[in-house]
Structure 1
Amino acid sequence: MKPDFATPIDRRQPRGDDRSPHWPSQKWHRHGDDVLPLWVADMDFRSPEAVVEALSARIDHGVFGYGLVAESLEQTLIDWSASHYGWDIEARWQHWLPGVVPALHLASLAFTEPGDGVLTVTPIYPPFLQVARRTGRLPQQAAMRPPQAPGEPWTLDLEALEAAITERTRLLLWCQPHNPTGRAWRREELEGLAELVERHRLIVVSDELHCDLLLDEGARHQPLAAAFPALADRIITLWAPSKTFNLAGLTAACAICPDAGLRKRFRDTAKGLMPDANVLGLVAAEAAYRHGEPWRQELLTVLRGHRQTLVERVAGWPGVGFSAPESTYLAWLDLRQSTLGAEKSPASALLERAGVALSDGADFGWPGFARLNFGTTAIQLDEALARLDQVLGG
């Protein structure tokens, strides 16, 4: 079956009688039926057919007891890493678990003590900002450098990052490619980061969840641990098929940890706190990484087109700052100088006036901004942008 990225899929499915399917969706059921949701990082596309078929076969088995990570899944990820990133990993480095966000919290518990500093770079995906507080650690933040001119990218401010490091800092939560700005970090930025990590002897958790969605033609991801092998013994890399193949609800992710000591601390901390990975999620992950590459390539073509559409539409919104993302399906909008600049929450104002739900920048540490998810069909995106035109279009 050829992938269909054009036909909208009804994800609201209002409850009818007991025979009618009703599968509530965070994205589509958080707001009213008249709202178009472009907020949470969840695409509106059907996952690869190979994944659907693998899940169907597993469901037909009919028994869903405790599972094990299959050697074939471990080898599939090894093959994917070698072919896509040029990084030779080993099966023993892998620790499969139910999601990247749980892994962030687990790392804080495993590698720091109460009162230690947990550092991250803002704006950032909201759970990063919650890890320290939730685990009894000291939250530490450093701001990125915003674009200095229209169309320029956000950049890593190494001076701000070093200034945020104290003698209490132990853990850096890193995001590569970056969510929400869509930056694919440049080598010179990463070299500066690596020098700081080594000099301050930090442990790094590198969330590389969006690494398979680089949008520029010919772009190739290199994991942080592969780019700086000398630091690999202090880096835990987090991957998952969830964003790439739209499998977030199946809760399967993998922590890659080359260092035996860190790996043991991570695994020992997980015991009793973290359930085993979802048996269906493991099946889906293997099918996605083994057979999903043609689907991924078609998705990238669609997302590149949507990105261009967004660039053209935002150009007609006076005062809205926007740097086209280099990765994923998320756009980071600066609304501080727009027609909504006086609003405490521009995202809330757009929800009320346009009926379009975006993610509020305040949750990412930067009030006055909003994140827009363009991982939807062209029909749905066009309708949402037309609504935003009415409010932002000057």
Structure 2
Amino acid sequence: MFDFDREIDRSGTMSLKWDKYKGQDVLPMWVADTDFVSPPCVLSALTERVAHGIFGYSRPSPRLIELIMARLSERYGWQIEAEWLVFLPGVVPGLNLACKAWSQHGRGIITPKPVYYPFLQAPGFNDRPLLTVPMVEQDGRWLLDIEELERQAPSADLLLLCNPQNPGGTIFTREELATIDAIAERHNLVVCSDEIHCDLLLDKDARHIPYGAISAEAAQRSAVMMAPSKTFNIAGLCCSFAVVPNARLRLKLQQAMRGISADVNLLGFVAAEAAYEGGEAWLQAQLDYLRDNMMLIEQAVARWPGVSMARNQATYLAWIDVGALGLDNPIAFFEQAGVGLSPGAQFGDGDFVRLNFGCTKALLVKALARMEQAILKLPK
């Protein structure tokens, strides 16, 4: 029904991902957008709206708000109010606004490490001390070092959480989130949870739990940030939202946005509504395709001496440990082999690389073959 094997030429389309290696024989497997055509319902809605011909300032439709509320209720049993929603042009601006709104000068902001690099940048951009808590591998999953989180918490106002975790792919359980929340309660931390990958669950046995759905108390000290962008490959349309149940925190966020944060653009709203209204069958087909791609990576990594990877429960991003290969510059090594990856150092650990497998199987197989050839040529 949906052709994820279809190869689309993205050259000449102002693609950040593909223009990076323009004119080079390097396969771009780095920045987190996919090479899949967005759902037909999204394309149809955008075509219809473009035909209208006027693109003025906009606001979310009542239907989009209804769809978000229904989605959170049906998927997670989380009943939210419409007034809790704050629409944003992206989760990354949301992280920076969170630092501005919910922390004081001189007080730290805690983030896991390794993590999606804007987490590591946002405190400094807002003149706040960065406090990091290591992610540690436990039984094949990446989890926060709880003892270190407890140690850092008294010096902080805000915890930036990433669930599902990027780049590690962990889906935190309710019990794991409750442990984090107990620390947040003891030390009066606001928790800003980036949950942009919450629809991209590869582990069929796992369930995503929004931070605000842990308990009524957790909801009152947190903000959950979500978006249809990664799920439906519409990141360039820049439509995200924060769920902020606490009125005081919500007001502070809205005040921080004034004069700084742009409104969501009209086509972003249109695409989001269409995706949430009619994109579920496409999403499920995409997940099946991504699971197959993930299996190809796991099989390849198992063949590669000195390379390992924890279980990837979510996202289309593989976090691969190449530290035992002894490479001076892993990214340059794989670029020379014809594969462009994201550097682990950018996320906080230079022994890793991140591979985006949101692509056709043909492209992934080609990339894995190039990586394998390069790895097997290394001296034993």
TM-score range, shorter chain: over 0.9
SS at match of 2:284: helix
What displacement does 1:219 show?
3.2
TM-score if structure 2 supplies the norm length?
0.96
What displacement does 1:111 show?
1.1
CA distance in 2, matches of 1:146, 1:324: 10
Structure 1 stretches lacking a partner, 5+ long = 14-22
- Whether the aligned pair in 1 keeps the contact of 2:171 and 2:207 (CA below 8 Å) is no
Aligned to 1:16: none
Query: Which of the residues 32, 40, 43 maps onto 2:22?
Result: 32
CA distance in 2, matches of 1:264, 1:365: 33
- Whether the aligned pair in 2 keeps the contact of 1:86 and 1:222 (CA below 8 Å) is no
CA distance in 1, matches of 2:86, 2:256: 12
Aligned to 2:348: 365
What displacement does 1:166 show?
3.5
What displacement does 1:153 show?
1.9
CA distance in 2, matches of 1:61, 1:109: 38
Structure 2 counterpart of 1:276, one-letter code: D
Query: Which of the residues 46, 53, 56 maps onto 2:37?
Result: 46
CA distance in 2, matches of 1:389, 1:311: 13
Aligned to 1:17: none
Aligned to 1:160: 148
Matched, 1:324 2:308: no
CA distance in 2, matches of 1:356, 1:74: 41
Alignment of 1:1-394 (within 5 A): 2-13=1-12, 23-33=13-23, 34-147=25-138, 152-167=140-155, 169-338=156-325, 341-343=326-328, 345-352=329-336, 354-393=337-376
What displacement does 1:186 show?
2.4
What displacement does 1:147 show?
4.9
What displacement does 1:176 show?
0.5
CA distance in 1, matches of 2:347, 2:356: 15
Structure 1 counterpart of 2:4, one-letter code: F
SS at match of 2:191: strand
What displacement does 1:386 show?
0.7
- Identical pairs, percent: 45
- Cα deviation code 1:328-371 (max 9, x no counterpart): 10110111102xx231x21222112x110110000001112110
- Whether the aligned pair in 2 keeps the contact of 1:194 and 1:228 (CA below 8 Å) is no
SS at match of 2:78: coil
TM-score if structure 1 supplies the norm length?
0.93
What displacement does 1:218 show?
4.5
SS at match of 1:6: coil
- Whether the aligned pair in 2 keeps the contact of 1:316 and 1:393 (CA below 8 Å) is no
Structure 2 stretches lacking a partner, 5+ long = none
CA distance in 1, matches of 2:46, 2:279: 14
